[in-house]
């Protein structure tokens, strides 16, 4: 039991924070705990959750992808354009997902085979893909989406919005992928030590390309959710949202140095961020002030363990050297 | 392939340096050549490009970016990142001018107040990275949100209007000396000071030493905590001054001042040849990186092409720059290894 507690300590902390944030939000507004309101609010975080899960294996590998929001924009613009030119969704889905996976794979090849630093590469492709999205979407963006494409954003499966169901399915799929498949195990191995993984005959570069391609595909899927919820698509969709996504992943206990973290953490972190943001919206806190809380959470969650151990060290050493130095604060 | 190797060899001979240092020099020359190519291409496509007026406007645009890139260089040299540079600029720009407009007696001292803010914000970043050992990308992503949140909380959706700014700051923003905007001169002075400090002062040499090999620096007896915090304080201070200048230029300041600029600053630094792995590069390169970015923006606006080309060209330049860096890095490494082996043999 204690072992279980220790293993899932960061996840338990997230659950406690979610409960606290929920209590605070419901104290602010009686409407918060209304199930219908909760599910409606949850919808707005599906896009971020999908991107966070796309980023999750990449961060486990010890890399980063800040171009995902731009890939999302390409996905949403492609879905919208295919929709107005009469392509059925069932045909559009593989086309767009393959295209966005290809964009992700380009990042993966540059990072894996060419050995370039992922932050700089995706900083470059972030701009290039955003440009591509502008080119595809035109100045005015795309509107007049057919109802078929809007189904995901408007329909409900037994009370629960379809997009929220999709989010949960994706979370389950990633838990299986990272926990029980060769790809997942390889990812953790590479993230812990690329050299050791290579010596153990792990196809390091292939796994990297696959992870980036998967990330691109998830961003494409998030693009479909975007289209279904906002009923339009433009080149600037989701611009600047990557910081929120990275925050969700790191807050979920995925080490940015690679090699550790679980899918459930990503899901809980997204729920926590969603709860806090919904609560603050109810309290009429403006958007950019909400960033203050999100940033503090991020730093607190990552820095707290080290801060505690530093403090403990200081107090134990000062009590030991009490006689010699006469103590000290 | 053979000609490329021959060219590299010839250039190395020209530099009069062996392996690593030669590769670094070629990297620096490469950025200048790229800038030159941009000028040639833009001049061919748009004759209006190569005029004194336009050059002035490019340099003016590049000035603030170059100043901010100087600060970022300090941090990147230590092998870390500062994503909060835009938020430091915004926070300082807004809050300092807001204080000055409420207490007019403080107006002559806005720079002093900005420096205090910059040092404090930078020191906090450094504390998170060096003491709490949070990876710099996470730590400064957090402070990016926190600092921006603070200024938005403080601003409460109001603006500091241009009339409220200290008169002398407004005048400064509009002044030209010897045909160039005062901002260009300020940027030049900043670059020379920071470049000189990196070259001459122990502080600067320690940043390079720590950045190229943190372990070796530790064994040598350098205090890594102090070096990293020092670099962040320098970056914060420079960002604060850049924020002040940007604020005076913009006039009506809201809480979103300079938001998103961190990516351009990072792009300038990367294009300028400051290695993202730390330890190599110079502020001069970063400044040329800023000028390259400003030239791309300016030229493509003159050509009236779509946003697409600007973003693709900029993105392509970044990827190309790090690709070249990877090659340079390998050369530097193989050069130092070879030297070591030879040393053992001798």
Select from A130, A294, A306 the Cβ nearest to the Cβ of B145. A294
- Chain A segment 284-323 residues within 8 A of B by beta carbon are 286, 288-296, 298-299, 302-303, 306-307, 310
Amino acid B1: pLDDT? 45
Q: Which CATH class is domain A2-302?
A: mainly alpha
Q: What span, in angstroms and rounded, lies between the C-alpha atoms of B144 and A259?
A: 25
Q: Report the length, in residues, of chain A.
A: 329
B53 in contact with chain A, both atoms CB, cutoff 8 A: no
Amino acid B345: pLDDT? 39
Which whole-number Å values give the CA distances from A46 to A166, A198, A223, A273, in the listed order? 8, 36, 11, 12
B192 in contact with chain A, both atoms CB, cutoff 8 A: no
- CB contact under 8 Å between B319 and A124, yes or no, is yes
- The dihedral through the CA atoms of B3, B4, B9, B14 has a sign that is positive
- Chain A segment 174-233 residues within 8 A of B by beta carbon are none
Between A221-230, B128-137, B173-182, the lowest mean confidence (pLDDT) is in B173-182
Nearest-by-CA chain B residue for A131: B308
Average pLDDT over residues A15-42: 85
> Helices then strands (H, E): number in chain B?
14, 2
Select from A119, A121, A130 the Cβ nearest to the Cβ of B311. A130
Which whole-number Å values give the CA distances from A146 to A43, A99, B117, B286, in the listed order? 20, 21, 52, 48
- List the domain boundaries for chain B: 40-328
Between A212-221, A248-257, A318-327, B271-280, the lowest mean confidence (pLDDT) is in A318-327
Which whole-number Å values give the CA distances from A192 to A59, A229, A317, B108, in the listed order? 11, 38, 32, 54
Instruction: Read off the pLDDT of residues B170-194 as tens digits, 9 standing for 90 and up.
Output: 888 788 888 788 888 999 999 999 9
Q: What span, in angstroms and rounded, lies between the C-alpha atoms of A228 and A136?
A: 18
Give the number of C-alpha atoms closer than 13 A to the C-alpha of residue A267, restricted to the C-beta side.
16
Instruction: Read off the pLDDT of residues B323-340 as tens digits, 9 standing for 90 and up.
Output: 888 887 777 777 766 655
A255 membership: H or E segment, kind and range: none
Look at residue A29 and tell me whether its pLDDT is greater than 60.
Answer: yes
- CB contact under 8 Å between A134 and B277, yes or no, is no
Q: Strand, helix or coil at A156?
A: strand
Amino acid B23: pLDDT? 74
Q: What span, in angstroms and rounded, lies between the C-alpha atoms of A243 and A250?
A: 11
Average pLDDT over residues B252-259: 84
Closest among A23, A46, A54 to A274, alpha carbons compared = A46
Residue position matching structure tokens 């080309």: B309
Q: What span, in angstroms and rounded, lies between the C-alpha atoms of A79 and B104?
A: 55
Q: Considering only the C-alpha atoms of chain A, give the largest distance between any 2 of them, rounded to a whole number of Å.
A: 83
- Is the Cβ–Cβ distance between B169 and B162 less than 8 Å? no
Q: What span, in angstroms and rounded, lies between the C-alpha atoms of B91 and B147?
A: 6
Closest among B126, B78, B79, B117 to B233, alpha carbons compared = B126
Amino acid A302: pLDDT? 82
Which whole-number Å values give the CA distances from B148 to A238, A269, A270, B94, B144, in the listed order? 19, 21, 21, 11, 6
User: What is the overall mean pLDDT for chain A?
Assistant: 88
Q: What span, in angstroms and rounded, lies between the C-alpha atoms of A118 and A256?
A: 12
- List the domain boundaries for chain A: 2-302
Look at residue A327 and tell me whether its pLDDT is greater than 80.
Answer: no
Between A36-40, A82-86, A267-271, B121-125, the lowest mean confidence (pLDDT) is in A36-40
Amino acid A294: pLDDT? 82
Instruction: Read off the pLDDT of residues B72-104 as tens digits, 9 standing for 90 and up.
Output: 999 999 999 998 999 999 999 999 988 888 887
Amino acid B166: pLDDT? 81
Q: What span, in angstroms and rounded, lies between the C-alpha atoms of B33 and B59?
A: 18
Amino acid B22: pLDDT? 73
In A, which residues are within 8 Å of B86 by CB distance?
none
The CA-to-CA distance between both ends of chain B, in Å, stands at 34
Closest CA of chain A from B346, distance in Å? 31
Amino acid A218: pLDDT? 96
Name the residue with higher pLDDT: A262 or A1: A262
Average pLDDT over residues A216-230: 94
Q: What span, in angstroms and rounded, lies between the C-alpha atoms of B245 and B263?
A: 19
Amino acid B3: pLDDT? 54
- The dihedral through the CA atoms of B248, B254, B255, B256 has a sign that is negative
- The dihedral through the CA atoms of B183, B186, B188, B190 has a sign that is negative
- The dihedral through the CA atoms of A151, A236, B306, A102 has a sign that is negative
In chain A, at which residue ranges do the beta strands (DSSP E only) sit? 156-157, 160-161
User: What is the overall mean pLDDT for chain B?
Assistant: 85
- Chain B segment 85-124 residues within 8 A of A by beta carbon are none
Look at residue A163 and tell me whether its pLDDT is greater than 70.
Answer: yes
Amino acid B46: pLDDT? 86
ipTM metric: 0.81
Name the residue with higher pLDDT: A279 or A74: A74
A267 membership: H or E segment, kind and range: helix A263-282
H-helix segments, A138-202? 147-154, 162-180, 182-192, 194-199
Select from B132, B149, B311 the Cβ nearest to the Cβ of A131. B311
In chain B, at which residue ranges do the beta strands (DSSP E only) sit? 176-177, 180-181
Instruction: Read off the pLDDT of residues A275-302 as tens digits, 9 standing for 90 and up.
Output: 888 888 888 777 777 788 888 888 888 8
In B, which residues are within 8 Å of A298 by CB distance?
138, 141-142, 145
Q: Strand, helix or coil at B42?
A: helix
Amino acid A323: pLDDT? 43
Highest mean pLDDT among A49-53, B106-110, B270-274: A49-53
The bridge status of strand A156-157 relative to strand A160-161 is antiparallel
């Amino acid at each position: 039991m204690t072992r279980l507690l220790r293993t899932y300590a960061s996840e338990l902390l997230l659950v406690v924070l979610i409960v606290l944030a929920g209590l605070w939000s419901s104290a602010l507004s009686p409407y918060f705990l209304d199930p219908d309101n909760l599910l409606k609010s949850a919808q707005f975080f599906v896009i971020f959750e999908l991107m966070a899960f796309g980023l999750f294996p990449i961060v486990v590998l010890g890399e980063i992808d800040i171009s995902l929001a731009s890939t999302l924009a390409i996905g949403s613009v492609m879905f919208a354009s295919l929709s107005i030119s009469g392509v059925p969704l069932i045909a559009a889905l593989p086309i767009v997902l393959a295209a966005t996976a290809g964009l992700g794979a380009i990042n993966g090849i540059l990072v894996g085979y060419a050995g370039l630093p992922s932050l700089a590469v995706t900083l470059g492709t972030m701009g290039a893909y955003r440009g591509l999205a502008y080119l595809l979407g035109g100045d005015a963006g795309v509107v007049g989406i057919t109802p078929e494409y809007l189904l995901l954003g408007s329909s409900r499966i037994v009370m629960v919005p379809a997009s929220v169901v999709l989010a949960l399915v994706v979370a389950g799929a990633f838990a299986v992928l990272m926990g029980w498949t060769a790809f997942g195990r390889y990812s953790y191995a590479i993230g812990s030590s690329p050299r050791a993984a290579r010596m153990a005959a792990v196809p390091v570069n292939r796994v990297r390309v696959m992870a980036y391609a998967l990330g691109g595909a998830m961003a494409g899927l998030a693009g479909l959710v975007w289209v279904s919820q906002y009923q339009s698509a433009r080149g600037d969709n989701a611009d600047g949202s990557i910081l929120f996504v990275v925050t969700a992943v790191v807050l979920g206990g995925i080490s940015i140095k690679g090699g550790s973290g679980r899918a459930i953490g990503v899901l809980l972190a997204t729920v926590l961020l969603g709860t806090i943001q919904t609560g603050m919206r109810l309290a009429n806190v403006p958007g950019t002030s909400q960033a203050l809380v999100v940033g503090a959470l991020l730093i607190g969650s990552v820095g707290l363990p080290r801060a505690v151990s530093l403090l403990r060290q200081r107090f134990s050493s000062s009590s030991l050297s009490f006689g010699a130095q006469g103590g000290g604060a | 392939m053979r000609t490329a190797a021959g060219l590299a060899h010839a250039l190395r001979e020209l530099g009069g340096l062996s392996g690593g240092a030669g590769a670094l020099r070629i990297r620096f020359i490469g950025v200048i050549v790229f800038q030159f190519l941009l000028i040639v291409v833009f001049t061919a496509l748009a004759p209006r490009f190569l005029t004194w007026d336009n050059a002035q406007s490019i340099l003016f645009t590049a000035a603030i970016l170059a100043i901010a890139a100087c600060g970022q260089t300090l941090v990147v040299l230590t092998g870390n990142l500062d994503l909060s540079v835009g938020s430091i600029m915004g926070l300082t720009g807004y809050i300092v001018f807001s204080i000055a407009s409420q207490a007019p007696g403080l107006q002559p001292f806005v720079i002093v107040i900005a420096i205090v803010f910059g040092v404090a914000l930078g020191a906090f970043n450094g504390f998170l990275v060096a003491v709490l050992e949070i990876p710099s990308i996470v730590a400064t992503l957090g402070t990016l949100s926190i600092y921006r949140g603070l200024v938005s909380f403080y601003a409460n959706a109001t603006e500091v209007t241009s009339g409220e700014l200290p008169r002398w700051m407004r005048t400064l923003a509009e002044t030209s000396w010897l045909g160039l905007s005062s901002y260009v001169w300020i940027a030049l002075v900043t670059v020379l000071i920071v470049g000189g400090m990196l070259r001459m002062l122990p502080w600067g040499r320690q940043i390079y030493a720590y950045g190229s090999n943190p372990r070796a620096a530790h064994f040598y007896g350098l205090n890594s905590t102090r070096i990293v915090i020092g670099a962040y304080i320098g970056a914060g201070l420079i960002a604060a001054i850049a924020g002040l200048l940007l604020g005076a230029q913009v006039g009506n300041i809201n809480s979103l001042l300079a938001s998103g600029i961190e990516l351009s600053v990072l792009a300038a630094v990367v294009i300028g040849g400051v290695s993202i792995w730390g330890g190599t590069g110079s502020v001069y390169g970063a400044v040329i990186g800023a000028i390259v970015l400003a030239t791309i923006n300016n030229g493509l606006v003159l050509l009236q092409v779509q946003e697409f080309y600007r973003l693709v060209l900029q993105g392509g330049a970044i990827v190309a720059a790090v690709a070249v860096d990877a090659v340079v890095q390998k050369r530097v490494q193989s050069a130092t290894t070879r030297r070591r082996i030879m040393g053992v043999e001798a």
